[in-house]
Chain A
Amino acid sequence: MKAGFTTGSWSLVHGAGMSLLTLSSGRRRVRAAAMADDDLRRHVLNRLTFGATGEAVDAAAVLSPGDLVEALLDASPRDLGMPVMHGDDDWSTVPQWWFDVMRHPGAGLHERMVWFWHGHLTSSMDTSSPALMFRQQVIFRRHAAGSFRDLLQEVTVDPAMLFWLNGAWSTADNPNENYARELMELFALGRNNGYTEDDVHQAAVALSGWWVDGDHDDRVEFDPERGPRHTVPLFGGRVGSAAEVIDAVCDHPACAPHIAGALYRALHGVDPADDVRAELAAVFADGGLQLRPLLEATVRHPTFLGNPQPRPRSHLEWYIALCRFLRRDDVDVWPLYSLGQMPFSPPNVAGWPGNDRWLSVGAELTKAQLAFDLMWDAAPPDSDDVVGELCWRAGISPGPATRAALDEAYVTGPDEWEPYRSVMALIPLTPEFNII
């Protein structure tokens, strides 16, 4: 085995707080009697972690799907090291570090939330730097399931965000409206959802005066000379600082439904029905915009296990699943750039568009190439049922048509063909691997 995950790395899942069974080679072929529950556990793992694998599905088999949700809610974040950068021109270390964190079998719901916030409260290393993106991510890690208000307060005056949406060096006399607009349209309220153009302008005035001191470790500073000199009207009240703008936005009636809808969509894969959104928004608002109660209500909602909705795997999820399936822990993050979902480099302020947009001719070409190329260094199967073993590794339960196509591709032939290889390259392109 050249570069497989060891049982040792899998055991980090235990460190994440889940009480799962220790694996043994005999254990992995045990199939739970109730396939429906197996499918549900797979669904839970696909939605609340970075994807099901055979090991994870087997390890979770002792828990009911509902208990698995609770176990993932209870899991503590992994204790992560810091990325060590190599000079100012090092554009690889930080994205590779985060990719490796997400790819790790122990990456759970907390990491999933960090990824969610990156796609919701976007910024990009293209307008800042990998180091500043890491600094921003520390905010996401601290508040991933904490107070939304604190999260928004901190990210508003974070250097990567100040660069991304032109908050840095915006002055009260000539304010840049970019952050104010996206704060309302995308981050907190929703497009045309209870605010006016004048609200955008006034908020921009109150948000002005901040700058980033490049001579002192990109320290964020506030310059009273350039900031608001008096209060301005916003949503019918008055605000005179960035902090007061964020408070006003958080107190706006559209805020709780907007965040509740975004989180539901991220975890369930579909938009909530209006009454479900209202129900979750009420939980969020009643809890003082604490994210933990919202998160619990979202994943415990009856629709989560009662009506699972398949959706396309995002490119990040797909690539992580590919690496796990091939048991390779030495892969490079940059193919995600070709796929169009490079961490720390969202395509625009709205983040990555979901679902339909993941299905494209360009993605198929790139996926075929990646699966075929990365397969060569993968660990060979060690079972007589090669197709079954490889599907298990991939965390999929193939339908009859997929299974037949894979069986046909696995035609025992001369050894030099290593016929398992075509199956290995094919599984990442199956419907079951791509629509989860």
Chain B
Amino acid sequence: MGTRFEPTDGPARPDPFALPPDPGSAVAFHTARGVTRGVNRRELLKWFSAGAGAAAVGGGAWLAGRGGEGASGGSSPMGTAPGGADGGGDGPMATAPRSMQVPAAPADRLLVMIELAGGNDGLSMAAPLGDGRYRDLRPSLAEPEGDPFVLDAATALHPRLARVATRGPAVLQGVGSLQPDYSHFEMQVRWWEGSPDASRVYDTGVLGRLADAVGDPDAPVVALSVSDGAHPIMFSRTASTLTVPDVGATWYLTGANSDDVLRQRFQRAYRAFGADAAEPYTARRREVMERTVRLAEAVGEWDDDDHGGYRDDRLGNGLRMALRLFDRGVGLRIVHITMDGGFDTHDGHGWKYPELMSALDDNLGAFFDDLDAAGMADKVLVATMSEFGRTVGENGSGGLDHGAAASMLLLGPVMAGVHGEAPSFAGLSAEDGLPATLSFDHYFGTIAERWFGVPSSEVIDGGTEVIDGLFAG
């Protein structure tokens, strides 16, 4: 890999998704329900519509899945509607089922927002099927190794998202700024503030405002970020929000046993400070200290050796902490976890990205298993955010540079399948990002209004339009 791609209408490149030479060999394929089926070569060819065939005749233009005869025609082996349940019918491919999960009442609903920091390539996470232009722009990266999980006629999840795929995921396409910037810093600040074109400057964060709208003002923690620093997305007016770098942060304030004399004394005296406060700031801090102790006690002891199926990384530990705190009645409604350290794939995207997806999949798989076991699966929405997507074409280093809009992934009581307006590659060159079809403040506004049942204007000044049909129930 590594030669710089020049867009051309010339002969098609070798198909990176080329089929095995043996016509009769069965290829393992996954459905969005996680059912693995055998597909023979002929079915697969049909499945990818004109795919390899068109390339072979030199047209260079894969028929798009949408409107392509193979994909949407009656002869397609896969269903077409996002909600079209195909539970073992005729075709070998099943699309994502409609969510079976009826969500809890709005007052009981919870949000886990995972920030894929660095700029997540939404096209790799939820790839367009059968779009020749896309494949031309990404000669070596359009089709990662492994079998993708089909969401609808035009979209498939990354092959490493096996456990996510079993959970009826929703993908919301084209989320970004209508007036994008390409700086990490600038776009992160805009996302954190909830201000897509920076025309409105907030001194609070978008999840902080959501916490103000949905939280109990006396709760020890309404919104928690597991990140470095004091995360600006958490800044709130009234609700208690906080950032902790790791799960060990509460060790100092709780759980000293009788052998641990020093920590015992420390914890006892900490609880006594300011109890007699008359001065207003001291009294206010005393309230904060009481909440801090309540939070620390809710987190409780933490076994650093047993990760319970999660990875020992920030996302895994953050999800474990979220589950525990959700379960222990401290008023927590929103968790934000920064999954950092790798989405900025300017080079080596082909080997870096699958590892990122595996980490996401392992952790979310363990989390949803735990939610099932705790009987909480109807309460929790998992959603992703990222400051921008990446360029549609690959660069000379086998990587992708800063782009614009990207797909967001949603899990939980969502309507499985693909939502929002699909990206178009028409007229884009390799260096372009995908233009947004949905301003990201509408994404937050939709979560506020349709998931938490509070007006979008509580979170975004002036309110936003909302996307219908994203959530079940």
Contact = CB atoms under 8 A, between A and B. Distances in A.
Contacts of A363: 230, 242
A366 B249 contact: yes
A361 B295 contact: yes
Given A368-B253, A369-B249, A422-B265, A431 B242 contact: no
Contacts of B270: 368, 426, 429
Given A337-B228, A365-B244, A365-B292, A349 B201 contact: yes
Contacts of A409: 265-266, 268-269
Nearest to A124: B185
B303 interface: no
B245 interface: yes
Interface stretch (A95-103, A220-228, A294-302, A397-405): A397-405
Interface in A330-363: 337-340, 342, 347-350, 353, 355-357, 359-363
Interface in B237-260: 240-245, 249-250, 252-253
Nearest to A269: B281
Interface in A204-235: none
Contacts of A178: 198
Contacts of B291: 361
Contacts of B351: none
B249 A372 contact: no
Contacts of A426: 265-266, 269-270, 273
B214 to A, nearest CB: 17
A406 B265 CA distance: 9
A319 B79 CA distance: 61
Residue among A350, A366, A405, A431 with the highest chain B CB neighbour number at 10 A: A431
A67 interface: no
A365 B242 contact: yes
A131 interface: no
B279 interface: yes
Interface string B172-191: 00000000000101100100
B185 A126 contact: yes
A313 to B, nearest CB: 10
B413 interface: no
B276 A339 contact: no
Nearest to B296: A365
A425 B240 CA distance: 25
A310 interface: yes
A385 interface: no
A62 to B, nearest CB: 29
A338 B230 contact: yes
B285 interface: yes
Given A340-B229, A361-B288, A362-B230, A413 B261 contact: yes
Given A365-B296, A435-B279, A421 B220 contact: no
B285 A347 contact: no
A372 B266 contact: yes
B230 A340 contact: yes
Nearest to A407: B269
Contacts of A429: 270, 273
B232 interface: yes
A401 B282 CA distance: 13
A349 B275 CA distance: 37
A127 interface: yes
Interface in A171-215: 178
B262 interface: yes
A405 B285 contact: no
A177 to B, nearest CB: 10
Contact of B252 (A353, A369, A417, A430): A369
- Contact-residue bracket for chain A: 35 or more
A307 to B, nearest CB: 14
Contacts of B250: 365
A339 B241 CA distance: 13
B85 interface: no
Interface string A71-92: 0000000000000000000000
Contact of B281 (A311, A365, A404, A425): A311
Residue among B193, B198, B279 with the highest chain A CB neighbour number at 10 A: B279
Given A360-B242, A362-B242, A312 B285 contact: yes
Contact of A411 (B235, B265, B276, B289): B265
A364 interface: yes
Given A348-B201, A422-B269, A359 B288 contact: yes
B19 interface: no
Contacts of A431: 273-274, 277, 279, 282, 285-286
B197 to A, nearest CB: 12
A129 interface: no
A365 B201 CA distance: 29
Residue among A337, A365, A400, A404 with the highest chain B CB neighbour number at 10 A: A365
A434 interface: yes
B434 interface: no
Contact of A365 (B183, B252, B274, B275): B252
Interface string B223-235: 0000011101001
A435 B281 contact: yes
Nearest to B183: A127
A408 interface: yes
A242 to B, nearest CB: 22
A406 B203 contact: no
B275 A401 contact: yes
B19 to A, nearest CB: 46
B288 A360 contact: yes
Nearest to B186: A127
Contacts of B282: 310, 431, 434-435
A360 B288 CA distance: 6
A338 B231 CA distance: 9
Given A353-B235, A364-B288, 8 more contacts: A347-B235, A348-B201, A361-B240, A362-B243, A363-B242, A405-B272, A426-B266, A431-B286
29 contacts: A127-B186, A310-B282, A311-B281, A312-B285, A338-B228, A348-B193, A356-B284, A359-B281, A360-B242, A360-B288, A363-B230, A364-B292, A365-B249, A365-B253, A369-B249, A372-B252, A372-B263, A372-B266, A400-B276, A402-B273, A405-B273, A413-B261, A422-B262, A422-B266, A426-B269, A431-B274, A431-B282, A435-B281, A435-B282
The 3 closest A-B CB pairs, nearest first, are A340-B230, A362-B242, A364-B292
